[in-house]
Structure 1
Amino acid sequence: MKSKIEALFDDKEQRHTIINSVLALAIRVLGAFMAFIFNLIIARGLGAEQSGYFFLALAVAMLLSAVSRLGFDNTVLRFTSANAECGYTVKAILNFALKYVLPVASLFTLSTYYVAPWAAENIFNKPGLATSLQFIAPAIVGLSIVFLVAMSLQARHKLIASIPCQNIAHLMLCGAAVVVFSADSASTAALYLSLSLGVTSSFFYWLNIKNLNNNGEKPDPKKLWHSARPNWVIIIMSQAVQWSAPIIIGVFLVAEQVAFFSVAQRIALLTSFILMAVNLVVAPKFSAFHAKGDDVGIRKTALFSVRLLVLSALPIVLFMLLFPEFLMGLFGEEFRQGALILQILVLGQAVNVVTGSVGYLLMMSGHERDMRLVTLISGFGVLISVPVFTKLFGAVGAASATAFFVSLQNLLAVYFVKKRLGFNTLMFWQKI
């Protein structure tokens, strides 16, 4: 046993993966805890109806932000990873993406603001939602910036900054504002979130570009767009799988059902925060190995990371499956109604975890088009099935359809990893 552990740490890449994964996991635990506390503050502070409005408005903002980013998320990650030591190139890649993303995000912000009253009345049949949509509209710009800046930081292994940039700092600021100023409506919480994102996006952009060296050259715009175009479809469809269900529930059901589903979804996503932590470490490695033509390095890192994931996530999955009412009850007694929704969504996320970083494996190794096909299948599957299942079975039906297509997306990605890279991440016990 001791010799195996020593051999594990003798391997430079595995040692780097372990150390950085533990660091990323520690910060992700903090992020998951902050997200949990934020959702707790919103749910208990606003109540089921108002928190339903807030989570519905947030789902709309998240989806529109994903569209606004034009697929540059993983393009920034991939090309910055390959040029991490060239400060001029790092800055040029990020600024190139922002040059196109910000006008699109601003257009969506203005459109959302002016269309909100009509959409609240005619699409969602919830007039009280209008102000929340208007106040959360600026968050589309803020979310677009923090996601791209976080990818740039992640590519340079700046994990201590990358994770707070993406999903800790603005939640802390917004949650603190809701508590300090005793917000009691979804619209006020939405305004605080938009303001928080304005502050954090500006700060982390400055943090990312300061002290960069002048090495490197401008990236080839054609190569960036060649990567971004298929990535755009991937991001839109992936976000559709995650965020379309609350929106569809908001169209067909009352605001309280949106709140139950949204809280259950956010708890279920805690099962995959370990996957997100590992992704922060291995995604840049996959890109760097691919740039060097090191297929053995890609395989070893991928299989080793799946082992870490399975060992780490299994206890969390079991706890959520066994005690769903306890977890949902933390957000208020009425939220216990969402216990079954939570169990269903957890099963979908469990498949997500045990398949490993298959999405990043494909995208970082130049197989974006395979991942695009996978996300098209799962995305359209969700968009077609969730409205039908919601009409027939309510929020439980929406959860079932979502969990199924989350699982299908990852299993299809496993198939393409096997086809393109020659190994199966589900067989994580095989010799590395």
Structure 2
Amino acid sequence: MLTSAIAPHQLLKKSAFLLVVKVLASLLALIFHYLLAKQLSPSQFGLFSLAMTCLMFSSVFAKQGLDQVMLRFMAKSTVDEMGKLYWIIVIYALLSACVVALLIVFGFTFMRDYSPPDEQLALLVPLIAVLTIIQTFLGINSSALNGKEHAISALLFSGLITFVVAIFLLWYAPVNSAYQALMYFTYAAVIAVVLSFIFVSAKLSPEIWQIKNGDRYDIGKNFFQIFTVSRQVLIISLAALATQQLSILILANYVSLAELAVFSLALKLSLLMSYPLMVINMITAPKYAKLYHNKKYNEFNHLAKSSTQLLFLIASLGVFLLYLTLDDILSYFGPVYLGSAVLVKILLIGQWFNLATGSSVSILLMSGHEKLHRRNTLYLTSVNIMALFIFIPVYGLMAAAIITMVAMAIKNLVSLYFVNKLIYSKTECLECVNK
């Protein structure tokens, strides 16, 4: 039960163990990419990074925003509604993921008739298709667990188990190609997705297996509601991914794979800063959905403002420490990657805004303002994409870093503006009326 106020130190205490787990996951991700950078040539590491970026985009298309829908709907669902909602979303996600996977394979086959592809990239396409399905279910099951406030279990399937297994494989049998690296990642993801279904059955059972006869009449209505919300969230998710990752796909046409590897590593290191935000969102997102649904606006505001204060402090301290230690960190990856230091520093500014503005995007989504956020995101992302296409061919890696940083800063500031305008002010007025 939430109290009327949650101070930043209380929120930090609640999230301390989760933060440790997420930091461990980020450390494992760093070790995984460190081992790859050591075992692969820069060009092969760049090819692997390109494949993983393609996987991110295909997974977002496959999930159709259903991971966020699962989180929001499960958070406010009753025991009787839980099983129905879970299976509607899982079946919907299965169909979507299979369609996207088939489009990847047949689309690549169609394109190779007109433009001879890189043979090494051709080998990776089937693995990307399989991983698209696997990553979709990992996202859905992680959100289902998080929606019912099993945050630690949810964190296990947001990368931790996958990286543990992948690191073990790399340590036991080093790789020398991007294909082998992606194959190891596939093995690890298969183990993680099997475990995710076991955890969902254990944590949410018997509720998820209970679909009563009366529920069948509501399935069409529930599906339409889920479909409507997921359309909005899909666009938002794609736009967010484009802001952070589209630069890699565009750069692939203008720079060497070795240069792409340098930028990819810079982006990966800067993204580590976003992990505290992910942890706070895992704790607060289901609470936002519940509080707003139950019209507990005062508690909603206190939680939102407390989390923003905490994230501002973490962002400022984190960026300061990374600026001081960045050269030492990069030196472990090898001299070829030392040139990415300036790129990381630029990207870290964008991550500072990402954290310092708090969970503004999550607040808008969990309070039902996904249409507004989708509209804002579409406008800003369109400008961002045009800038990438205009400046990357001329200025290369530096343009990609600066445009990505500016886009992240502006998007988060716009989201914070609307949170202040539509959430804080509105909920305070509604609280007064209800009293």
TM-score (norm 2): 0.89
Amino acid at match of 1:175: I
Amino acid at match of 1:188: Q
Asked if the contact 2:380–2:407 (Cα under 8 Å) also holds between the matched residues in 1, the reply is yes
Amino acid at match of 1:314: S
Q: Deviations over 1:300-342 (max 9, x none)?
A: 0011011211222322201223343332222221011111111
The alpha-carbon deviation at position 143 of structure 1 amounts to: 0.8
Amino acid at match of 1:58: M
Q: 1:161 to 1:230 in 2, by over 3 A?
A: same
Asked if the contact 1:324–1:340 (Cα under 8 Å) also holds between the matched residues in 2, the reply is no
Q: 1:290 to 1:315 in 2, by over 3 A?
A: same
Q: Deviations over 1:108-150 (max 9, x none)?
A: 2233234447768978974432222333321111111111111
1:71 aligns with 2:73: no
Asked if the contact 1:289–1:295 (Cα under 8 Å) also holds between the matched residues in 2, the reply is yes
Separation in 1, partners of 2:114, 2:386? 21
Amino acid at match of 1:285: K
Asked if the contact 1:65–1:140 (Cα under 8 Å) also holds between the matched residues in 2, the reply is yes
Alignment partner, residue 321 of structure 2:
319
Q: CA RMSD in A?
A: 2.4
Alignment partner, residue 430 of structure 2:
none
Q: 1:108 to 1:251 in 2, by over 3 A?
A: farther
Separation in 1, partners of 2:114, 2:393? 18
The alpha-carbon deviation at position 351 of structure 1 amounts to: 0.4
Q: Deviations over 1:234-286 (max 9, x none)?
A: 11111121221111111221111221111111111111211111111111110
Alignment partner, residue 402 of structure 1:
404
Task: Please say which of residues 18-27 and 41-50 is displaced more in the overlay.
Answer: 18-27
Q: Deviations over 1:28-47 (max 9, x none)?
A: 11111111111111111113
**Residue 131 of structure 2 is aligned with which of 128, 139, 142?**
139
Q: 1:274 to 1:116 in 2, by over 3 A?
A: same
Asked if the contact 1:53–1:132 (Cα under 8 Å) also holds between the matched residues in 2, the reply is no
Separation in 2, partners of 1:38, 1:161? 21
Q: 1:423 to 1:184 in 2, by over 3 A?
A: farther
Separation in 2, partners of 1:155, 1:281? 9
Alignment partner, residue 227 of structure 2:
225
| Secondary structure of the structure 2 residue equivalent to 1:182 | coil
Alignment partner, residue 239 of structure 1:
241
The alpha-carbon deviation at position 173 of structure 1 amounts to: 1.3
| Secondary structure of the structure 1 residue equivalent to 2:244 | helix
Amino acid at match of 1:36: L
Q: 1:120 to 1:254 in 2, by over 3 A?
A: farther
**Residue 40 of structure 1 is aligned with which of 29, 34, 39?**
34
Alignment partner, residue 299 of structure 2:
297
Alignment partner, residue 82 of structure 1:
76
Q: Deviations over 1:61-106 (max 9, x none)?
A: 11111011111121111110012x51x5333323212212222222
Q: 1:121 to 1:325 in 2, by over 3 A?
A: farther
Unmatched runs of 5 consecutive residues or more in structure 1: 1-8, 425-432
Separation in 1, partners of 2:425, 2:406? 24
Separation in 2, partners of 1:340, 1:120? 37
Pairing 1:121-270 to 2, within 5 Å after superposition: 126-210=118-202, 212-214=205-207, 218=215, 220-270=222-272
Q: 1:122 to 1:20 in 2, by over 3 A?
A: farther
Q: Percent identity?
A: 22
Pairing 1:92-103 to 2, within 5 Å after superposition: 92-103=84-95
Q: 1:321 to 1:123 in 2, by over 3 A?
A: farther
**Residue 55 of structure 1 is aligned with which of 40, 49, 53?**
49
| Secondary structure of the structure 2 residue equivalent to 1:252 | coil
Amino acid at match of 1:213: P
Alignment partner, residue 428 of structure 1:
none
The alpha-carbon deviation at position 358 of structure 1 amounts to: 0.3
Asked if the contact 2:312–2:357 (Cα under 8 Å) also holds between the matched residues in 1, the reply is no
Separation in 1, partners of 2:11, 2:280? 8
**Residue 377 of structure 1 is aligned with which of 379, 382, 387?**
379
Alignment partner, residue 6 of structure 1:
none
Task: Please say which of residues 209-218 and 375-384 is displaced more in the overlay.
Answer: 209-218
Alignment partner, residue 103 of structure 2:
111
Pairing 1:391-430 to 2, within 5 Å after superposition: 391-422=393-424
TM-score (norm 1): 0.89
Task: Please say which of residues 323-332 and 176-185 is displaced more in the overlay.
Answer: 323-332
The alpha-carbon deviation at position 291 of structure 1 amounts to: 0.9
Q: 1:184 to 1:149 in 2, by over 3 A?
A: same
Pairing 1:355-370 to 2, within 5 Å after superposition: 355-370=357-372
